[in-house]
Structure 1
Amino acid sequence: MKKLTEKEIREELNKMKGWSLKGNVIEKTFLFHDFKEAVNFLNKVQPIADSMNHHPDVCIYYNKVIVQLTTHDAGGITDLDVELAKKIDELLT
C-alpha cells in the first residue's frame, strides 16, 4: 500500500471534519455524554476495523475517545486510513 504524500493527506483532511495530521497519524477526538456512550462507540468501530483488517489506536478518557490511524507497514498514512476514518465518522451521522 502506497503511503500518501503530505499534500494528499491534507487534501483528504480538508474534506473530513475534525481530523488532523499529527506526525505519522491522522487523529480525531470524539466526545460523548458518558463512559458508556464512549465504549458503545468503540464497540461499533471494532467490526468495521476487523472487516478492513485495519485497526486504530485508541485512548479512552471517560467520555472522550481519541482515535489515531496510520498504516504501520507503509510507515505512514495511506488510503486505508482515510477510508477507515470516513467509516468511523459515518457511525455518528
Structure 2
Amino acid sequence: MSELASKQCIPCTIGTPPLRGEELKEFHRQLDIGWQVVDEHHIQREFNFKNFRQALDFTNQIGELAEAQGHHPDIYLSWGKVRLVVYTHKIDGLSESDFVFAAKVDLMNKPV
C-alpha cells in the first residue's frame, strides 16, 4: 500500500491555500500513471470497462469509498467508462486529501 493510500482524507478549512508547484507535482508522482493534473486545479482519471454493468459497479465502489472518507469526487458514468474529477470544493483547488483519495482508488479493483 502506498503511503498516501494508508492515510485518511482530512477536511481542510476555508482559507487553506491549494497545492501548487513542486508540492503538487510531488503528490502527483505518488499516484498511478493514469491521473492527470488539470490547471493545478483538479486531478482526473478515466477508467474503461467492458460494459455498463462493470462501470456501474466501479462507480458504486467509488461512492462507498467517498462516503467512508467524507471526500466526494465528481463522477461521470457512461457505457463502459467512468471518469473521476477530484478536488477540494471548499478551497476550489487541490489538497493532500485529493491525492489520498486518488491513491485509495488506485488500490481498488480496476478494469481489465
Q: TM-score, normalised by structure 2?
A: 0.76
Which residue of structure 2 lines up, in the alignment, with residue 29 of structure 1? 46
Q: CA deviation at 1:9?
A: 1.8
Identical aligned residues as a percent: 28
Residues matched between the structures, number: 93
Runs of 4+ with >6 A deviation: none
Q: Does 1:8 align with 2:29?
A: no
Structure 1 unaligned regions, length at least 5: none
Deviation at 1:81, TM superposition (A): 0.4
SS, match of residue 30 in structure 1: strand
Measure how far apart 1:72 and its partner are.
1.1
Ranked by relative contact order (alpha carbons within 8 Å, sequence separation 6 or more), the top structure is 2
Structure 1 residue 6, shift from structure 2 partner: 2.8
Q: Offset at 1:25?
A: 0.8
Larger radius of gyration: 2
**Structure 2: 5+ residue runs without aligned partners?**
1-11
What TM-score do you get using the length of structure 1 for normalisation?
0.90
Please list, as runs of the form range in 1=range in 2, the aligned pairs for 1:1-93 lying within 5 A after superposition: 1=12, 2=16, 3-17=18-32, 18-23=34-39, 24-92=41-109
Higher helix share: 1
Whole-Å Cα distance in 2 between the matches of residues 81 and 8 of structure 1?
Answer: 13
1:66 Cα deviation (Å)?
Answer: 0.6
